[in-house]
Amino acid sequence: MRIEELREHLCSVYPDLCPLFSVEFGDGTLTVPADRLFSAAQDMRDLGFDLLGMLTAVDRGETFELVYRVRSREMSAAIFLKTEVPRDEPRIPSLVPLWPAADWQEREVYDMFGIVFEGHPDLRRILLPDDWEGYPLRKDYADERIIRRPDYI
Amino acid sequence: MTGQAEACGVDAHLLQTGDELVVNIGPSHPSTHGVCRVIVHLDGEIVTHAEPVIGHLHRGIEKMAENRTYLQVVPLTDRLDYVGSMYANWAYCRAVERLAGIRVPERAEYIRVVMCELQRIASHMMSIGSTGADTGATSAFIYAFNQREQVVDLFEAVCGARLTYNYVRPGGVSFDLPDGWIEQCRAFTRSHPSAMVEIDKLLFGNVIARQRLKGIGVLPAEEAIARGVTGPAARGSGVDWDLRRDDSYSVYPRVDFEIPLGENGDAYDRGRVRLWECVESCRIIDQALAQIEEGPIKAEGLPRLLAPRPGEAYDHIESARGSLGVYLVSDGSVRPYRMHVRSPAFQNLSVLGYLAEGHTLSDLVVILGSLDPVFGEVDR
């Protein structure tokens, strides 16, 4: 399936989300509301997207954007699934039941952004010590030990 | 209980006592291949539960990248996978090039392919050598490191560095090939395959090493896919997936090569897949060196300070450990808004607990080595 066919297919399955399906930099992006993430991901997996390649988050100010990159070996296609969760209550269903590959990557996002993955079997910090305070990849993370490079480069 | 005990004809139950003992291995232990701590639950000599505790080498490279210009991030990527710096350099540069719409000259693409295939050999030699050391075959370690040393000499001749190359830059590479380098490289690719046959006999043909490796840490193909394992660790299980062919990038479509696959998914197959990948890498290098033409090695007219338009880009390459991806978010300024590294070593290591269960403690070391983690990349 080529990216255009994939787009048509997704537009027929998700007519309301089709305007949010964009192809930029070569890969398709499907943006879904947080409450539909799990079902959309489940559809993706059933469509043959068997590899969860990458899972990460981006601090967008008021919200955190979650980015999932799923890939189908058979179709030789990849797609980004994106969703947003509010900064004051960052909760999202875990995708470990669909792809066990999400296990450590979700722990890492929890560690770095404080996003809670509901239903994760073992949500603990992974790279930082258990007693670490704060979530370092949030833009408002403050630590006096961080040395800022001067603005003139 | 399966594992080495049974392979050796010993009833695994004889090694069990019914009492559980918790043993802490590492984080600084010669057989953990870096700073990795593993909490092992043992019943007699059998591992009932193993949990890797990572993060001892975490330097916050993703956070540091947000505070540097696009060019200043390149040396940071060297420090990710320090056994294969070229890969992280290249994956990052590809993401920057995609984000900023930079076209890379053909000669630079060929040089990148040659360097990354040499890097694959250097990295796999480290892995195979340490597999030998882990199983008591120290001579294989010396033979493998002899090969690695020759590759590192080639890198030194090109960019002056032997470990952190900082060679691939956005838009091209930092230096052209020096005079006589191509001949030196050809001499290496001529001699390397026979050295691989020798190591194959010495290590993988050795009856002791076979007993230590065969049937150890079996990873079924469907588990490898579901758990996101990529690279030789997955190909050892017969997962026919290699980004060089399946999401072909750079000049890989123009070269002809095979992808070695294992059958059983054990430590033995993972090791041998690496070994034959090195022979295929020699084929790729020879073809690339035959096709390479004179020309520029850097994109022309690149500004000193890159400020790509706002947006996101993801690009990935097949590193010695698997799919290495870099996700970049730009807000239009001269520094990345966010950089994320999709680390194959991190993802491959996550199956350690699954693989080690039911094996003896001494096999845990072999399994860890067969996943070939580099902790600079695991912890980032």
The residue extents of the domains of chain B are: 61-343
Which residues in chain B are contacts of A26 at CB distance < 8 A? Answer: 98
Would A145 be classed as within a structural domain?
A: no
B-chain CB neighbours of A128 within 8 Å are: 55, 58
**What's the pLDDT at B293?**
86
Nearest-Cα distance to chain B for A116, in Å, is 19
CA of A62 vs chain B CAs: smallest distance (Å)? 16
Residue B157, burial from CB neighbour count under 10 angstroms (0-12, 13-18, 19+): middle
The minimum CA-CA distance between B323 and chain A, rounded to whole Å, is: 8
Please tell me the predicted confidence (pLDDT) of residue A26.
Answer: 58
Residues A94-120, mean pLDDT to the nearest whole number: 90
Chain segment A22-52, per-residue pLDDT in tens? 655 557 788 888 888 888 888 888 877 888 8
Please tell me whether residue B40 adopts helix, strand or coil conformation.
strand
Residues A25, B337: C-beta atoms closer than 8 Å: no
Domain annotation covers residue A121: no
Model ipTM? 0.85
Contacts of B337 in chain A (CB under 8 A): 58
CA neighbours closer than 13 Å in the CB half-sphere of residue A25 = 24
Alpha-carbon gap, residue B77 to B91, rounded angstroms: 9
Residue A9 falls inside a structural domain: yes
Q: Let me know: does B227 contact A100? Beta carbons within 8 Å.
A: yes
What's the pLDDT at A3? Answer: 64
Interface-testing mutation among B327, B349, B379, with chain A (most A C-beta atoms within 10 A): B327
Report the pLDDT value the prediction gives residue B14, as an integer from 0 to 100: 56
Which pLDDT score, from 0 to 100, does residue A25 have? Answer: 52
**Residue A148 counted as domain residue:** no
CATH number, residue A22:
3.30.460.80
Calculate the CA dihedral of residues B346, B241, B193, B124 and round it to 10 degrees.
0
Q: Classify residue A11: in a domain, yes or no.
A: yes
Q: How far is A95 from chain B (nearest CA, A)?
A: 12
- Across the interface, do A53 and B63 touch by the CB < 8 Å criterion? no
The dihedral formed by the CA atoms of B287, B293, B294 and B299, expressed in degrees to the nearest 10 = -90
Q: What is the pLDDT of residue A22?
A: 64
Tens-digit pLDDT profile for residues B102-149: 889 999 999 999 999 999 999 999 999 888 888 878 888 889 999 999
The pLDDT value given to residue B110: 92
Nearest to A40, CA basis, from A60, A10, A66, A62: A10
HEC profile of A15-29: CCCHHHCEEECCEEE
Q: Calculate the alpha carbon distances from B164 to B83, B103, B156, B161, B325 in Å.
A: 9, 25, 10, 6, 19
Instruction: Report the residue from A26, A101, A126 with minimal CB separation from B226.
Output: A101
CATH superfamily, region B61-343: Cytochrome-c3 Hydrogenase, chain B (1.10.645.10)
For residue B54, what is the nearest residue in chain A, using CA coordinates? Answer: A127
Which chain A positions have a beta carbon within 8 Å of B55's beta carbon?
126-129
Cα–Cα distance measured from residue A95 to residue A55, given in angstroms and rounded to the nearest whole number: 10
Contact yes or no for B174/B166 (Cβ under 8 A): yes
- Is a pLDDT exceeding 70 seen at residue B17? no
B248-265, pLDDT tens digit by residue?
888 888 888 889 998 888
Query: Residue A106 and residue A95: Cα distance in Å, rounded?
Result: 8
Closest CA to A107 of B128, B347, B159, B120: B347
Domain count, chain A: 1
Closest residue in chain B to residue A78, using alpha carbons only? B247
Q: Chains A and B: how many Cβ contacts under 8 Å?
A: 85
Split at pLDDT 50, 70, 90, the class of B1 is: very low
Please give the residue range of the domain that contains residue A10.
Answer: 3-93
Enumerate chain B positions whose Cβ falls within 8 A of a Cβ in A: 54-55, 58, 60, 62-63, 67-69, 98-99, 225-228, 241, 246-247, 305, 311-314, 316, 323, 325, 327, 329, 334, 337-338, 340, 342, 346-347, 350, 379-380
pLDDT digits (tens, 9 = 90+) for B142-183: 899 999 999 999 999 998 888 888 899 888 888 888 988 999
